[in-house]
Structure 1
Amino acid sequence: MELGNGAAVSTDGVLDVSHANLNAFSADSVSDQKKRDTKQLYLNNNRLCELPSSVRHFSNLQLLDISNNGLSVIGEDITSLVKLRTLVAKNNRLNEYSLPKNFGSLQLEVLNLSGNRFEEIPLQCTKLRRLQSLSLGGNRLKSIPVEIENLSSLEVLYLGGNFISSIPTEVANLPRLSYLALSDNSIQSVPPQLTRLHSLRSLSLHNNQLRYMPREILSLVRLQELSLRGNPLVVRFVKELMYDPPSLLELAGRAVKSGNVPYSQQDLPNHLLKYLDLASKCPNPKCAGVYFDSCVRHIKFVDFCGKYRLPLMHYLCSPECTASPCSSNPQSDAESDDDSSVPADRLQRVLLG
């Protein structure tokens, strides 16, 4: 059936009205039967400024593409599409106030809102319990809401090209997440809790502000691709030592803890007892030292597959822990501990540049 401007309803349930240069769309020229038969409706690349109210008549619609228009709002009519599974609305003028209040009642599995003007992820989106793929790349997002954990079916989360500065630990509560893209943001650290993402296969973190990666990342046994290029930890690609000489208090505390000097509540005031309880053991297995406030931040490079080197952070008690005196061979602990012997099937690509 021809609708003008070359648009037509095909026999396989697809109504393509894309690139038709429409300012408005009306379904009046479509028979009731055709409306019921239509499962995919393409209204992309037009000049639409609002979602046509006539879409509510397509009762069996499963896919709606309204990309590349001038939409600033999606009205309540969309909530009547109870069979809708895929909504593509990228490259419009949508923001966090553009979605209807009951948007979360939809049974969406795929939602693409990339290339819009969102500064926050609408909470309506976090109520889409069947959602498997969420894309909000190229927006103005500053954070990820903790309610993201409600998307228990989510497998793909794409938030690249925003202004996100941190990753909430609630992201780790997404049991099916296999693809996490947070590239081109302002993220400064990765929470070690992400180790709970047992299904994660791809982690894109390039072009952020990362200076280290937590060693817990090695627990992601299904991870096949990790992108880190364009971060300070890769750009500098050197050890980062930030070391302040320990105070007399710390030196005394180290001597007590390392030498196993006995003490009791009767020997020391309460504030010193609490201080001694704060001792952190040096992670270097060749070193029996401890530290309190003063430590070395040391980037080690773990070798994957004999080709790539993944930077991980160590906190050491002193610079000597990375030199030969603490080790029986000339290699430092950063090169010699067991983390470097990772099976070849653990990670296929670490993209450092």
Structure 2
Amino acid sequence: MDVQEGSGPGDGVLDFSRLGLNSLSVDSVGEERRNETKQLYLNNNRLASLSPSICLFSNLEFLDISNNQLSVICEDVTRLVKLKTLIAKNNRLDEFSLPKEFGAMPLEVLNFSGNRFEEIPLQCTKLHRLQSLSLGGNRLKSVPPEIENLTSLELLYLGGNFISAIPPELANLPYLSYLVLCDNRIQSVPPQLTRLNSLRSLSLHNNLLTYLPREILSLVQLQELSLRGNPLVVRFVKEMTYDPPSLLELAGRTIKSRNVPYQPCDLPSNLLHYLDLASKCPNPKCAGVYFDSCVRHIKFVDFCGKYRLPLMHYLCSPECTSPCSSNPQSDAESEDESSVPADRLQRVLLG
């Protein structure tokens, strides 16, 4: 079925949604009308492919091709040099469906939810103007480190996949405000996420989390944290594995904890870099540091004065246990530097 020229709900809009179309005859739309069109709706049809002549909509800024049967996006889409929003939900797209030059497009909003992606295409990580990326309800197993290239990103929706780990590179997105990772298989949250200074909402419900990193309390803009459906709402046995520090680490600990002076000219570059990786023990009564070898302890802290959640602490030795007591009474009476002001974190969703 070919499209005949239709009228939109307003100037610059062509709406051909829900017409049962098998193909789009762009030639049937007058040239003047094509040049005026800024929004084109082709959603809820039976399109198996896009016509190469889609590029004739030279001023197109918004394209909705959701709920079709598309398995590939034609190369000609990349000639839409003004396209800012592409909605392609609920098709048959995967990581091999995108044109090679897709990453050069000026897209700001991209929605590929409800498709068949097993990986995030690297073309998507080259969309430097992208502010919103949705890939929910796909088959993703991981998030590539190249996600850090999307430095304009404000919303990242990856719910409903098979993701098992959050890459620390996500922490390099300075404007990320909404991060949705619900309904995955995530077992831990990297402490690097504390660098997401713009994050307002973090959705982690229905994962496999048993603890949170204590650094999550440094997310000063965070207003909503969704955690329901995770094992962390139930008390569990603490993991007490500990590998003794190497001779290299023992030397590094001595230099850092005792403030032994050194100059860049005194040490090889690899040792200088190693010394820069020192982490301070969170126990306020301990002046120690650690590098690779540390003890993992759990401490339950109050969120908003109502919820007690387990936060992970990394300590320099098994003897340094005072900030991570497993005794609830001790926790309550200790000086808790990790409590969250109730007026900041507005919602903690556990059930």
TM-score bracket, normalised by the shorter chain, equals 0.7 to 0.9
User: CA–CA distance in 2 between the matches of 1:97 and 1:288?
Assistant: 52
Q: Deviations over 1:295-323 (max 9, x none)?
A: 97543232232223332123573698527
Residue aligning to 1:311: 310
Residue aligning to 1:346: 344
Could you say what the CA RMSD is over the residues aligned between the two structures, in angstroms? Answer: 3.1
Q: What aligned pairs does 1:283-302 form with structure 2 within 5 A after superposition?
A: 285=284, 298-302=297-301
Matched, 1:238 2:235: yes
Tell me the secondary structure at the aligned position of residue 117 of structure 1: coil
CA, structure 1 residues 109+281, in 2 after alignment: closer, same or farther (shift >3 Å)? closer
CA, structure 1 residues 7+337, in 2 after alignment: closer, same or farther (shift >3 Å)? farther
Could you tell me which amino acid in structure 1 is paired with residue 104 of structure 2? S
Residues 72, 98 of structure 2: 8 Å contact kept: yes
Tell me the secondary structure at the aligned position of residue 33 of structure 2: helix
Tell me the secondary structure at the aligned position of residue 311 of structure 1: strand
Could you tell me which amino acid in structure 1 is paired with residue 237 of structure 2? E
Q: What aligned pairs does 1:38-187 form with structure 2 within 5 A after superposition?
A: 38-187=37-186
Aligned structure 1 segments of 4 or more residues deviating by more than 6 angstroms: 244-247, 286-291, 293-296
Structure 1: stretches of 5+ with no match in the other structure: 248-252, 258-279, 325-329
Q: CA deviation at 1:163?
A: 1.0
Q: CA deviation at 1:245?
A: 11
CA, structure 1 residues 76+348, in 2 after alignment: closer, same or farther (shift >3 Å)? same
Identity of aligned residues (%): 73
CA, structure 1 residues 94+333, in 2 after alignment: closer, same or farther (shift >3 Å)? same
User: CA–CA distance in 2 between the matches of 1:46 and 1:191?
Assistant: 42
Q: Deviations over 1:207-247 (max 9, x none)?
A: 1111111100011000011111111112xx21433457999
Q: CA deviation at 1:283?
A: 5.0
User: CA–CA distance in 2 between the matches of 1:22 and 1:190?
Assistant: 45
Residue aligning to 1:16: 15
Tell me the secondary structure at the aligned position of residue 24 of structure 1: coil
Residues 240, 297 of structure 2: 8 Å contact kept: no
Q: Which has the larger radius of gyration?
A: 1
Could you tell me which amino acid in structure 2 is paired with residue 140 of structure 1? R
Could you tell me which amino acid in structure 2 is paired with residue 229 of structure 1? R
User: CA–CA distance in 2 between the matches of 1:81 and 1:20?
Assistant: 24
Tell me the secondary structure at the aligned position of residue 27 of structure 2: coil
CA, structure 1 residues 335+92, in 2 after alignment: closer, same or farther (shift >3 Å)? farther
User: CA–CA distance in 2 between the matches of 1:42 and 1:335?
Assistant: 60
**Larger mean Cα displacement after TM superposition, 295-304 or 196-205:** 295-304
Q: What aligned pairs does 1:163-312 form with structure 2 within 5 A after superposition?
A: 163-234=162-233, 237-243=234-240, 285=284, 298-312=297-311
Task: Tell me the TM-score normalised to structure 1 length.
Answer: 0.80
Structure 2: stretches of 5+ with no match in the other structure: 245-249, 255-278
Q: CA deviation at 1:24?
A: 0.4
User: CA–CA distance in 1 between the matches of 2:47 and 2:344?
Assistant: 48
CA, structure 1 residues 334+242, in 2 after alignment: closer, same or farther (shift >3 Å)? farther
Aligned match for 1:331, one of 329, 332, 348:
329
Aligned length: 313
Residues 227, 349 of structure 2: 8 Å contact kept: yes
Tell me the secondary structure at the aligned position of residue 87 of structure 1: strand
Tell me the secondary structure at the aligned position of residue 172 of structure 1: helix
Q: CA deviation at 1:29?
A: 2.2
User: CA–CA distance in 1 between the matches of 2:319 and 2:137?
Assistant: 43
Q: Deviations over 1:31-59 (max 9, x none)?
A: 11110111100000000001122211111
CA, structure 1 residues 148+33, in 2 after alignment: closer, same or farther (shift >3 Å)? same
Tell me the secondary structure at the aligned position of residue 313 of structure 2: strand
CA, structure 1 residues 294+243, in 2 after alignment: closer, same or farther (shift >3 Å)? farther
Tell me the secondary structure at the aligned position of residue 226 of structure 1: strand
CA, structure 1 residues 245+84, in 2 after alignment: closer, same or farther (shift >3 Å)? closer
Q: CA deviation at 1:72?
A: 0.2
